[in-house]
Amino acid sequence: MQLVFASNNQNKIKEVQLLLPESIKVLSLEDIGCFEDIPETADTIEGNAILKADYVTQKFGYNCFADDTGLEVAALNGEPGVYSARYAGEQKDANDNMDKLLENLKGKSNRSAQFKTVIALNLNDTQILFTGIIEGKIITEKIGTNGFGYDPIFVADGYDKTFAELPIDEKSQISHRGLAVKQLVAFLK
């Protein structure tokens, strides 16, 4: 089976492909000739996943799945949430985003946070959503070089290393995206 993953983020694609059985071949947006930025204008994580999946299905005619992820920080009323990728501006720079988040958390004792991923699957004219959430906390400095996004400042509950310190295969087993992808895989079987 071939499924388009509505992403050109090679880190995400690698992470997801590790979790899928060999019988499912993932195609990127580039693989299907989609080079435009798909608008992410919804005000929820679910909404953005649906927008991206629908865009690919309607414009290119493929069965596909799309995800959207947000980091929700308790002390900041759920920020950055749906705006996680562009928290510090439209340049979507991970270091700028982390710096802004760390600055906004200065002096706050509650550093609990959760990563939330929603996957929208469009398969044979049906849409199904899968949600993965991992609880954790935001530390005070960036540690680690693996991963991407907020990984260097997020430590999952039960762990003493940031997502950026974990090998990709270990992170993908426990991460929010990993949990959502496992639901997707179970459904596809």
Q: What CATH number is given to the structural domain containing 139?
A: 3.90.950.10
Q: How many domains, in total, are found in the chain?
A: 1
pLDDT of residue 140: 96
What percent of the chain is predicted at pLDDT more than 90? 78
Is the pLDDT at 172 greater than 90, yes or no?
no
Note the pLDDT tens digit of each residue in 79-98: 999 999 999 998 889 999 99
Contact (Cβ atoms closer than 8 angstroms) between residue 100 and residue 73: no
| Catalytic residue status for 37 | no
Out of 31, 37, 68, 93, pick the active-site residue. 68
- The CA distance from 148 to 75, in Å, is 23
Q: Name the nearest CA neighbour of 163 among 127, 112, 172, 184.
A: 172
- pTM (2 d.p.): 0.90
Domain span at residue 18 reads 2-188
Contact (Cβ atoms closer than 8 angstroms) between residue 134 and residue 159: no
